[in-house]
A and B are shown apart, each in its own frame.
Chain A
Amino acid sequence: MGMSVLLACQFLGELVARGLVLPVPGPVIGMVILLAGLMIRGKVPDSLRMTGEGLLRYLTLLFVPAGVGLMGHFELIGLDLWPILVTLVVSTAVTLAVTGWLLERLNRRQGGRS
């Protein structure tokens, strides 16, 4: 039952994304649909929670097949190897730092006020 709900939401999400030609993938819209459904229902059914949390526990594994696809990009990445590597490392570090720092500050300020 839990899996059917997840797949139904994904299916609806896909329909909305394709139907309205949105740049957003179907599963992300499916997530919004499921969230709305849970809000209306007011609780998470047990079977859904069991399936959903089981999937999320192995979320890291699910990225592996797509990641292996990297082997097809060696050539393109090799053309600009150093600019790409330096940019990725430095820019990712800066993004992590700016987001984490800003949110931590805003969070603390709000915590102090209430």
Chain B
Amino acid sequence: MKVAALDQLWVYLSGHPLLSLLVTLLAFTAAVRINRALGGTSLLHPVTLSIVLLIAFLLLVDMDYSTYFEGAQFIHFLLGPATVALAIPLYDHRERVRRLLVPLLLACGAGIVTAVGSTLGLAMLLGARAETLLSLAPRSVTSPIAMGIAEQIGGIPSLAAGLVLLTGSIGCALAPWVFRLLRVRDPAVQGFTLGLSAHGFGTAHAFARIGAVAGAFSGLAMGLTGLLTAFLLPLLARLFGLH
């Protein structure tokens, strides 16, 4: 029997999409287990934890992101149909959405102005560079929209995408504390707030942790926030004298 040398085997495996696909699923399973073992704490969200585990793994085996993504893109691809599928819970709860339409729109507008205003104000105060500032501005919007907006107002699209991801995990970590402090108990309100502040991460979190009603409202918030921000942000950036 002939046995292949270990380094040759590794060269084959590391170039194969199967490896990154398997590693992603294993990291996620491990992250869910670890999170559960820690009592389901929101500070170490399974998504954040799997991202940390995977980045550590890639650095350890010296694999670059584009090689990793060749395998992981099969998971990434499902984000598209999953976003479309958000229409299903939205349809199920359409009566409630219709009844709450005006409050939802008002809260959405106020949330966006708060998000963009406090981000630009704080970052300016702390002395961030102009490119960073403009890449930070669209951070509470889902990443494809944020990248487009950043480009339009003069930020760096890839940095914007990274900041969007950070915002998502920070939002999921902070949300339970904020809700407890303000005594926000209605799942619809919790979901909408999560979707507005933490886009897709928040929506996924709402589905996994709070339930279908929260998920539906969260998906709605994510879509609305994306649409409204695309129109509002260039105006707000001009207001801050950035554009």
Contact = CB atoms under 8 A, between A and B. Distances in A.
B193 A59 contact: no
A89 B163 CA distance: 11
A64 B163 contact: no
Contacts of B241: none
A94 to B, nearest CB: 5
Interface string A4-26: 00110110010000000001111
B213 interface: no
Given A64-B28, A66-B76, A92-B171, A52 B85 contact: yes
Contact of B78 (A30, A44, A62): A62
Interface string A46-73: 0011011101110111111111111111
Contacts of A98: 110-111, 114
Size bracket of the B interface: 35 or more
Contacts of B136: 84, 87-88
Q: How large is the interface on A (under 10, 10 to 19, 20 to 34, 35 or more residues)?
A: 35 or more
Nearest to A3: B81
Contacts of B76: 62, 65-66
Nearest to A108: B186
Contacts of A28: 83, 142, 145, 223, 226-227
A57 B128 CA distance: 38
A67 B103 CA distance: 32
A62 B165 contact: no
Given A67-B165, A69-B162, A99-B193, A91 B129 contact: no
Contacts of A13: 84
A62 B79 contact: yes
Given A10-B83, A80-B132, A99-B110, 4 more contacts: A59-B207, A64-B51, A77-B162, A86-B122
Pick the 9 closest A-B CB pairs, nearest first.
A73-B162, A52-B85, A106-B103, A65-B72, A27-B83, A83-B126, A99-B111, A59-B204, A34-B87
Interface of A: 3, 6-7, 9-10, 13, 23-28, 30-35, 38-39, 44, 48-49, 51-53, 55-57, 59-73, 76-77, 79-80, 82-84, 86-104, 106-107, 110
